[in-house]
Amino acid sequence: MAIYPIRTFGDPVLRVETKTVTYVDDVVRSLVQDMIETMYEAPGVGLAANQIGITRKIAVFDAQDGLGPRAMINPEIVEVSGEWEYEEGCLSVPGHWWPIKRPGFARARALDLDGEEVEYAGDGLLGRVLQHEIDHLDQRLLIDWKDGKHSEFSLAQLRRVCPCAACRTEREQQGSNPLRILKADPTGVRVVSARLVGTYAIQFDWSDGHNTGIFDFRFLRSLDAG
217: region left, alpha or beta (phi > 0 left; psi from -120 to 50 alpha)? beta
What residues act catalytically? Answer: 133
Q: With 0-12 CB in 10 A as exposed, 13-18 as middle and 19+ as buried, what is 103?
A: middle
CB atoms within 10 A of CB 80: 16
Q: What does the alpha-carbon distance between residue 158 and residue 14 come to, in Å, rounded to a whole number?
A: 15
Distance from C-alpha of 107 to C-alpha of 131, rounded to nearest angstrom: 9
Could you give the 3-state DSSP secondary structure of residue 160? coil
Instruction: Kindly report the backbone phi and psi dihedral angles of residue 58, in degrees, each rounded to the nearest multiple of 5, phi listed first.
Output: -135, 135
Residues 6+ apart with CB under 8 A from 59: 35, 46, 47, 48, 49, 71, 72, 75, 133, 134, 136, 137
